[in-house]
Amino acid sequence: MRRVNAGDWVTLYYGEKEAYTVRVVPGRRFHTTRGFIELDRLVGVELGSSVETNVGERFVVSRATLVEKLLSLRRFTQVIYPKDLGYMLISSGVGPGSVVVEAGTGTGFLAATLAYYVRPTGKVYTYEVRKDFYEMALENFRALGLQEFIVAKNKDVREGFDEEDVDAVMLDLPDPWSVVDKAYASLAHGGVILVFVPTLPQVERTLSALRKSGFRMVEVVEIMLRKYKAEPAELRPETVGVQHTGYIIQGRKL
């Protein structure tokens, strides 16, 4: 049986509508609506077993998924949602050994997801102009254990990318059109650019820049995700949920 080590991430399950994901940092106390848990007590516990809070409520200790870890990170910027991250990852062709450039870092969701999938021989280079965001993102990468696969730079990407012959460039910027030509120069032949923006005016300006820079196979998509109430007797779409998140623009250097 697998056991919990210090520094691991675990999901504490109480019920279908109550679960928590936390990193096991000895010396810390984790509070829930059912009381608190001294995280030291989780070290050495078998996954699938249970642990009690200070008031006797029991939680099942389980392995945390990447999405659960991401959603438990400290967020200080708007993030790209998992439904969009998944499409961007698959569309880019990124996998173990890939070299990817990403800007801007923000909270680090996109860079961390990319790093998770380029392991163990790939690398993600991420640019963030704001020093405070850059420093907080570094903390998130360390918490996820992905820092060795990420090279984070506190630099304005509008000055250009340092990397050449990369497999993919991904942009989450307010003005991605300003760096599209620089992305083209950094990509290897057949490389992919993916841009995430929230508004249609941004899409239009980005499309113009992509065409001008020579990108081919350009497309724009919006990923829609609708959750259902998972109860046999009440099966129906959820009445509340995230609807529009953004547009994903893709192009190839051919």
* Boundaries of every domain in the chain: 9-64, 69-252
Supply the pLDDT for residue 241: 81
Supply the pLDDT for residue 242: 82
pTM for this model (two decimals): 0.93
Compute the distance between CA of residue 27 and CA of residue 40 in angstroms, rounded to an integer: 6
List the pLDDT tens digit at each of the 254 positions of the chain. 799 999 999 999 999 989 999 999 999 999 999 999 999 999 999 999 999 999 999 999 999 999 999 999 989 999 999 999 999 999 999 999 999 999 999 999 999 999 999 999 999 999 999 999 999 999 999 999 999 999 999 999 999 999 999 999 999 999 999 999 999 999 999 999 999 999 999 999 999 999 999 999 999 999 999 999 999 999 999 988 888 999 999 999 99
- The CATH class that applies to domain 69-252 reads alpha beta
Domain 9-64 has CATH 3.10.330.20: yes
Between vectors from CA 240 to CA 231 and to CA 16, what angle results, nearest 5°? Answer: 40
Supply the pLDDT for residue 239: 87
Lookup result for tokens 């239009």: 204
The pair of three-digit structure tokens given for residue 254, joined into one six-digit string: 């051919």
Quick one: DSSP state of residue 45?
A: P
- Each as own residue / partner, the long-range contacts of residues 20-24 (CB below 8 Å, 24 or more positions apart, any chain) are 20/59, 20/72, 21/64, 21/68, 21/69, 21/71, 21/72, 22/72, 23/72, 23/143
